[in-house]
Amino acid sequence: MSWWPWRQNPWFETVLEAQRRAKKRLPPSVYAALVAGSERGTTPRDNTDAFAELEFAPHVAGHQPERDLSTTVLGIPISLPVLISPTGVQAVDPEGEVAVARAAAARGTIMGLSSFASKPVEQVVDANPNTFYQLYWTGSKEQMIQRMDRARAAGAKALIATLDWSFSVGRDWGSPSIPEKLDLKSMVTFAPEAVRRPGWTLDFLRSGLPDLTAPNLQPPDGAAPTFFGAYYEWMQTEPPSWEDVEWLRKEWGGPFLLKGITRVDDAKRAVDIGVHAISVSNHGGNNLDTTPATIRCLQPIAEAVGSQVEVLLDGGVRRGGDVAKALALGARAVMIGRAYLWGLAANGQTGVENVLDLMRMGLDSAVLGLGHSSISELSPADLWIPPEFTRTLGAPVAAPRPRRRPAASSKGGSSATTA
């Protein structure tokens, strides 16, 4: 027991408890930035709710005493099939992405680093050599080459290209106002929120205020852009064609993961242009609202391209059981976003380790109950999948079968039966 019996045990037993603590600890607008979502918020809700629609088919005996949860992603061995998804987080924790990278390294997994992150790629790779660097299609090709060169030189092991963003705006519940930089005026505006969250504010005051720039987008001869400056550049950039994506892959030259796929035809195009991995993702439901939950889109995509590329999934993963379900439907591994952000906000690096431990324990419990000795044995037979569950997007629609003409009955009525 702690010397301070009134202190809460910092260990949390589920990700939802971490979220509750994050909500209590963070200033409301910082918390709202993590909740994200867009428009009605339908997609982030479906991302999580859809997992609960899938039901397990556990065995009662014959369980395996030892279970292997390890795998590889793009050639990198990891101790559990859960990666850190890149998120452009600022101001959740003073150590930000470096704390997350350390936690991922301590638990034997891969760190995904956003190019909109608050810490430089060099520091993050130092904290976790198994870092994947994430890029959006933003700026000129020369700028993209310079950013990729920098990430490669830092030691990033793969490139994640996130291409699903289409600049949807507005949330029915309102968007947080985030300052462009922390000058006197914005500090005065933010002060009432900071006062309401003294623990968080003190942590930041001790380690210096966040500068709210995107250091990984800094040109060789200038200052790092602010988050909003970087966003503006992105909005001004012409969207990429498939040829552009192929160009990006060739310029990177190493392992390449295309993130944001929800359609079977896009997955096949990705294979055609030579990507090595895809993530079935809808950006955590932050973009085009009413895109279906990624877990609904996974199985048809995995069946179409799973033998040619590594198929990952992200969106809505909150428990180890969710990981088991995604693997059963064909994912090699999953990436988590909000789950580790809640952990980071609740308890820094230890909080992220706590989340990864929960994922491991929950996955192990599912693999045990399902009677397997390895995650590679998970399959759709481990689940009950409701009839209307799956969404096959972007696959040729089968031609409707011709309707049989109603058979004339002796009474002159018509049968209601159709073929």
Ligand X SMILES: Cc1cc2nc3c(=O)[nH]c(=O)nc-3n(C[C@H](O)[C@H](O)[C@H](O)COP(=O)(O)O)c2cc1C
CA distance 30 to 12: 21
Binding mask 242-271 for ligand X (x = CB under 6 A): -----------------x------------
How many Cβ atoms from other residues are within 10 Å of residue 241's Cβ? 9
Which residue type, as a one-letter code, is found at position 112? G
CA distance 75 to 336: 20
Question: Is 34 or 305 the residue whose CB approaches ligand X more closely?
Answer: 34
Please report, as residue ranges, which positions from 346 to 405 form the binding site for ligand X (by CB under 6 A): none
Q: Residue from 25, 31, 32, 88 that binds ligand X (CB under 6 A)?
A: 88
Is 283 one of the catalytic residues?
Answer: yes
What is the number of residues in the chain? 419
Q: Kindly state whether residue 284 participates in binding ligand X, applying the rule CB under 6 A.
A: yes
Catalytic residue among 59, 63, 276, 283: 283
Q: Which of 313, 315, 324 is nearest to 359 (CA)?
A: 324
Q: Kindly state whether residue 338 participates in binding ligand X, applying the rule CB under 6 A.
A: yes
Place of tokens 């609904």: 296
In the complex, minimum distance from the CB of residue 353 to ligand X, in angstroms, rounded to a whole number: 17
In the complex, minimum distance from the CB of residue 48 to ligand X, in angstroms, rounded to a whole number: 7
Provide the β-strand partners of residue 133.
113, 159
Q: Kindly state whether residue 118 participates in binding ligand X, applying the rule CB under 6 A.
A: no
Given the DSSP bridges, would you call strands 55-56 and 71-73 parallel, antiparallel or unpaired?
Answer: unpaired
Which residue type, as a one-letter code, is found at position 89? V
Q: How many residues bind ligand X, per CB under 6 A?
A: 24
Please report, as residue ranges, which positions from 298 to 337 form the binding site for ligand X (by CB under 6 A): 314-317, 336-337
Please report, as residue ranges, which positions from 40 to 59 form the binding site for ligand X (by CB under 6 A): 47
Q: Kindly state whether residue 67 participates in binding ligand X, applying the rule CB under 6 A.
A: no
Q: Residue from 286, 291, 299, 354 that binds ligand X (CB under 6 A)?
A: 286
How many Cβ atoms from other residues are within 10 Å of residue 238's Cβ? 7
Burial track 137-166 (b if 16+ CB lie within 10 A, e otherwise): bbbeeeebebbbebbbebebbbbbbbbbbe
In the complex, minimum distance from the CB of residue 351 to ligand X, in angstroms, rounded to a whole number: 15
Q: Assess contact for 182 and 209: CB atoms under 8 A.
A: yes
Question: Is 116 or 190 the residue whose CB approaches ligand X more closely?
Answer: 116
Binding mask 14-33 for ligand X (x = CB under 6 A): --------------------
Q: What are the two backbone dihedrals, phi and then psi, of residue 315, each rounded to the nearest 5 degrees?
A: 130, 105
Question: Is 117 or 383 the residue whose CB approaches ligand X more closely?
Answer: 117
Per CB under 6 A, residues contacting ligand X are 34, 36, 47, 85-88, 114, 116, 134, 162, 259, 281, 283-284, 286, 314-317, 336-339
The residues that are catalytic are 283
